Amino acid sequence: MIPGFGKIFIIIGILFIIIGLVFMFADKIPYIGRLPGDIHIKKENFSFYFPITTSIIISIILTIIFSIFRK
């Protein structure tokens, strides 16, 4: 057995639970996906949406969380 393999599975499981909860309650979290800087282009038969500001904020939050768990 690989040492620490169980711990990795537990962390991945917790991440899946957190991601699932975010998907369940994403509509109720204010401003997620509607921040200034999120790109939304709407034309007749075409719609493009890229939440760049939301992605940057989520990336910063995940970086902080992972740096806490690394120690």
Q: Return all residues near 47 (Cβ < 8 A) that are at least 6 apart.
A: 40, 41
- Its sign, for the CA torsion 42, 45, 51, 52, is negative
The Cα–Cα gap between 44 and 69 comes to: 47
Number of domains in the chain: 1
Q: What is the pTM of this model?
A: 0.57
pLDDT digits (tens, 9 = 90+) for 7-46: 888 888 988 998 888 778 877 777 777 788 888 899 999 9
57 CB-near residues (< 8 Å, 6+ apart): 35
Range of the domain at 57: 5-70
